[in-house]
Amino acid sequence: MAFATRLRRTTNRLRFGMPDRYGHLEREVAKNKCRRILEIGVWDGVHSQAMIQAALRASEASTIEYYGIDLFEDAYKTEGTLEREASKRPLRFDEVRARFRHLEDMGVCINLFKGDSKEVLPGLASTQPMDLVFVDGGHSFETVAADWRNVRRLLDGRSVVIFDDYVNAEAVEAGGYGVNAVVDAIDRGEFVVTFLDPVDRFRHPWGILATRFVRVQMRQTPHDPVEMGSPRG
């Protein structure tokens, strides 16, 4: 592994206490000077705050809008939801909401929604296009497919979509992840799809989960590459 790659991976772990792939979020925000950010699957708000802080390094707080959607404690209302969606144990809405208070005090517009993304996203269709969309909510095929269908209404040529949890075949079979099927079906004639390194690996009772980010953006010209990287990890 190249020295620069090792350094970046180590830095991500030390700074954010998170798997290596999440460093892409801040870099994407910084590179494109993103100011309108949508996150499907907020969980504890750590990634949200990292993206917003990256945006603040390039833009005034009053120009930044963050939209976050999660079931939060409502995920417990229906038995089997967490298992079906291959989701983490949720935090309470009010607990996570409090973690954004200092950013609101700075002037950042925080829009945090508790609810099913399939119901919340259509209500955002009348807003301006998003600069960055991070899709990391429910992981069943039904949910991810609905998220992608609704997110497409919020994109323009500048928008970037990052899907989390494009996984290995073993994880699809054992964990029920539906991200792969959705990403694989994206029209390569309309969108450029990039499989991002690194691949993060975690041990589970059923075996190894290998997961990575996938970057999706509207094709600008007929000469854009159809696909970069490899879907296999």
Using CA atoms, how far apart are residues 65 and 63, in angstroms rounded to an integer? 7
138: pLDDT strictly greater than 60? yes
**In sequence order, what DSSP letters do the residues of 4-22 get, joined into one string?**
HHHHHHHHHHHHH-S-GGG
Are the CB atoms for 135 and 123 separated by under 8 Å?
A: no
Using CA atoms, how far apart are residues 38 and 127, in angstroms rounded to an integer? 11
Classify 3-221 by CATH class: alpha beta
Q: Which 3 state secondary structure label does DSSP give 92?
A: coil
Query: Which helix H or strand E contains 161, and what residues bound it?
Result: strand 160-167
17: pLDDT strictly greater than 60? no
pLDDT score for 15: 52
167, β-bridge pairs: 211
11: pLDDT strictly greater than 80? no
Distances (CA, A) of 8 to 50, 84, 198: 16, 34, 10
Average pLDDT over residues 132-145: 94
pLDDT score for 88: 72
Task: Using pLDDT thresholds of 50, 70 and 90, give the confidence band for residue 1.
Answer: very low
65, β-bridge pairs: 36, 109
pLDDT score for 16: 45
Task: Using pLDDT thresholds of 50, 70 and 90, give the confidence band for residue 87.
Answer: low
Using CA atoms, how far apart are residues 147 and 119, in angstroms rounded to an integer? 10
pLDDT score for 10: 57
147-202 pLDDT, tens per residue?
999 999 999 999 999 999 999 999 999 888 999 999 999 999 999 999 999 899 98
Query: 71-80, 111-120, 159-168, 199-208: which range is least confident on average?
Result: 71-80
pLDDT score for 56: 98
Domain ranges of the chain: 3-221
Task: Using pLDDT thresholds of 50, 70 and 90, give the confidence band for residue 19.
Answer: low
